[in-house]
Each structure stands twice: as C-alpha cells, then as structure tokens.
Structure 1
Amino acid sequence: MPRTWKTAILAGLSSCALATAASAQNYPFTAGDYTEVSMIDVADGGGMQYATFLADQWRKSQEFAKAQGWITGYAVFSNYNSRPGEPDLYLSVTFASLPDGAEDERRNQAYRDFMKRTDAQMSAESGDRTKYRTVMGSFLLRELKFK
C-alpha cells in the first residue's frame, strides 16, 4: 500500500477517534419521570378481596390523582414467577416531580375531601387490609431517557 494511502487512512481513523472521545464526555441520558413501586405480599385466600380493593378504592384514588395532574400513570404488576420471599404484586405510580411540604399537605387535604375520610379512618382501613396483604416495602425509580 502506498505511503500516502496509509497516511490518509491513519488520519481518517484519528479524526474518528477524536470525535468519539469528545462525544463520550457528555452523559447520554436526561432525567425523566419518577416511579414509586410498592411490593405487596397477598395472603393465601386473600387474592379476590385485595383485587377488589385495588379495582375499586385504589384505582379511584389513582384516577383522582391523575385528574389533578399529580401523577401521569399507575399500574398493577403480577410477579408471575415469584420465588419464596418475593412479593406477589407490584403497584406502580408514575409522576413528574416530588411535591414540596406545603404542596404535599394541600394534596393530602384534597384527597381526604375527595375520599370523604379522615386520616384516622384511612389508617384504620389500611390496618384492616393487613388481614389479607402485607406491604413488604417500596422503592423509587427515575427514568433515564436517551438524549
């Protein structure tokens, strides 16, 4: 191969390497929405009762939050091939940002008004659901969108 061809090929490869190195210095993602995921263990024989709660009360509360613009979506996922100790269900709620304290309190009051319940009543109802479900914990995810 003639020397000029080798020089041209090396110059071309070098320019590609420099462009790749420069673009690799910028992070390829931008922050997206948050998704909070709750992990639920359903007691044996409690599946229908909990499914009814989710389809009625939980769904109603999520639709209210969505109508207010507080969340962008929600879903129920079944852990189809669960192993011992893993949750049966995952409840997800997606939202664009976390509210500050004042906004959080305003939302809580609006939710209580919508549900026509006090904090004490909602806490008691949650306690009653422990008969057929256990909240194993939760985690907060943030979507990373490609730039």
Structure 2
Amino acid sequence: MNMLRNWTAVVLLLCASWAGAQERAYKEGTVTVVTSVKVVDGQFENYMRYLAANWRPVNEEARKAGEIVDYHVYGANPRSPQEPDMYLVVTYPNMAAFDGMDARMEPILAKLTKQTMQQREDAAGKRVVMRTILGSEMLRELVFK
C-alpha cells in the first residue's frame, strides 16, 4: 500500500511538472495604465500647462529612476459629450512595479512639487475646474514568443 502511494505521488509530480513545462505562445510584458480625461471647455491650454509643469516632470523623474517605462498624453475626438477628449498613459515595467510604488514615488513627488502629501491632495481637488477624470484602465501587454 505504501509503495502504491509513493508511485502515485511520483506520477502526480511528473504530471504537474509536465503541465508546468507546457510552453505558452506569449510572455507577460509591460503594464499600461490609461486614464480617461474630459477637459472642461475653455480649459484645454490651462490643463496642458499644468501637465507640462507638474505631471511631466514627475514622470520624467520616475522614468529616470526606473519606476516607469514611458508616458504619453493623447488627444481624442469624443463621439459624445460624455466621452474623454484626452488620455494620460503611463507604462510600467511589470505588475510587480506596483508593489510599494507609493513609498518609492513619495520622495520624487516631494522633491519636484515641494509640497506635502496633504498639499498635493488639496491641489488635486482644485484641478476639477480644468478636468474630470472619467476612469482608468489597466492593460497588460502579451508579447508573442
């Protein structure tokens, strides 16, 4: 009986390792977060100035530190008044990049904005006169092997 149990365990281990060895046709790649923005009429240039003066330097510094791979701003032609007319896109190296991200980004934000976390949150609330965040979506690239 003991011998049968040992052989069963060996067969199960071999099956498990064989199943794990099956090659996928892809590998997991970068992770991109797309934030949908609706800019208030008449505020486009103001919001772009804000992004250039604040959002861009933070992302540049994060890229230099290896926290992000890249970032972009895209303009869009919405099909209806409820749809976004801008997308803020940030690409991260992988899912693991999000573990401890706040702690790693805090020194970058404090250095560039020269504000406390509370001051940054208060300023974020004031940007509602320029734009509305409609939501965010996370996409993972699947790279064919």
Q: Same fold (TM over 0.5)?
A: yes
Aligned-pair Cα RMSD in Å: 1.7
107, 110, 113: which is aligned to 1:112?
A: 110
61, 69, 72: which is aligned to 2:69?
A: 72
Secondary structure of the 1:38 match is strand
5+ residue gaps in structure 2? Answer: 1-21
Larger Rg: 1
Q: Deviations over 1:42-77 (max 9, x none)?
A: 011111100111122111111111111101100011
Q: For residues 83-94 of structure 1, what are the structure 2 equivalents within 5 Å?
A: 83-94=80-91
Identity %: 37
5+ residue gaps in structure 1? Answer: 1-24
Task: Report how many aligned residue pairs link the two structures.
Answer: 122
Q: For residues 118-133 of structure 1, what are the structure 2 equivalents within 5 Å?
A: 118-133=116-131
- Between the aligned partners of 1:52 and 1:114, the Cα distance in structure 2 is 16
Q: Per-residue deviation at 1:81?
A: 4.4
121, 130, 135: which is aligned to 1:137?
A: 135
Q: Per-residue deviation at 1:108?
A: 1.6
83, 91, 96: which is aligned to 2:93?
A: 96
Q: TM-score, normalised on structure 2?
A: 0.76
Deviates more, 1:64-73 or 1:80-89: 80-89
